Amino acid sequence: MADTLLRFLFRDAPVRGEIVRLQASWQQMVANHGYPEPVARLLGEMTAAAVLLAANIKFDGALILQIQGNGPVRLLVVEVQPQMRLRATAKLREAAVIDADATLQQLTNPTGAARCAITLDPTGRRPGQQPYQGVVPLAGESIAQVLENYLRQSEQVESRLWLAADEHAAAGVLLQKLPQEGGAEAKPDADTWDRVGALTATLKREELLALEPTALAHRLYWQENLQHFEPIAPRFECNCSRSRSGRMLLALGREEVDSILAERDDVEIVCDFCNTRYAFDAVDIGQLFASGATLKPDASTRH
């Protein structure tokens, strides 16, 4: 059940492609969250898309794909850390009612003001240094359409994107036209873009979810002249920790934390991404605020 990202070039034309299929990592990301089916599907499509986008960028840092919603879903976040370490989460409004066939717009954008943001956060960012962020309106019937528009308008790369997700897998295909001067030395084939786009559009959702990327590439493009790159294995990893949770409590302030402790035995921070629970009792809280920011790093809770 290996998760695979496959990248390839069409040798006869300036077109590149990527196929991703996530199973183990995706199942870990949704385990114990109880997301309604349309929410899980949307988050899965975003996760596949984030992997496809991250694989295209020569950049040392994290790619974060985020939708700030104004409907029943108020937040969807996917993070791709270096070496394709993934995590994702969705936050629903309190008592949200979600139909089984709810659309992207119904879930996240009833007011029409929702945005989709793509952030590139460099590793070792200095204090005050801003990450790069591209923001687009959430216009379209699917996250694939939203991102195709983003790539065309903001990145000026003609792109086609197919995404699918269910409870078992999240998968996607990205095709991009490269600038004419790169590649295509041998025998430029102007029709390749249209042809491979039409071939990929014949793909059924079930096929995209069921087939291994290598098998899928063969199935779709067996008549094309492909150059494959070494496949990459994305994996789930959450970088939450007890010491990070402690810093969140320090940021809340002693008074606020004490007021929580007055009502219960401990203060609990639950990671939105992996559901790990970090509990701090009165003794822990006393130590935490006594030691302030000089917390010992805690390696025990990395996945």
Residues that bind Zn ion (CB under 5 A): 238, 240, 271, 273-274, 276
Q: Which is nearer to Zn ion, 87 or 160 (CB)?
A: 87
Supply the DSSP string of 39-50, one letter for each residue. Answer: HHHHHHHHHHHH
Q: Which helix (H) or strand (E) holds 285?
A: helix 282-291
CB of 234 to Zn ion, least distance (A): 17
Q: Which is nearer to Zn ion, 155 or 298 (CB)?
A: 298
CB of 141 to Zn ion, least distance (A): 32
Q: Which is nearer to Zn ion, 146 or 240 (CB)?
A: 240
The letter for the amino acid at 296 is K
Strand 85-92 with 235-236, pairing = parallel
Q: Which is nearer to Zn ion, 201 or 248 (CB)?
A: 248
- CA nearest neighbour of 17 among 182, 226, 208, 219: 226
- Largest separation between any pair of C-alpha atoms in the chain: 75
Q: Which is nearer to Zn ion, 28 or 192 (CB)?
A: 28
CB of 241 to Zn ion, least distance (A): 8
CB of 26 to Zn ion, least distance (A): 16
Q: Which is nearer to Zn ion, 225 or 276 (CB)?
A: 276
Q: Which helix (H) or strand (E) holds 24?
A: helix 24-30
φ/ψ of 89, rounded to 5, equals: -150, 155
The letter for the amino acid at 203 is L
The letter for the amino acid at 150 is Y
CB of 276 to Zn ion, least distance (A): 5
CB of 247 to Zn ion, least distance (A): 14
Q: What whole-number distance in Å separates Cα of residue 214 and Cα of residue 68?
A: 34
Structural contact between residues 176 and 15, judged by C-beta atoms closer than 8 angstroms? yes
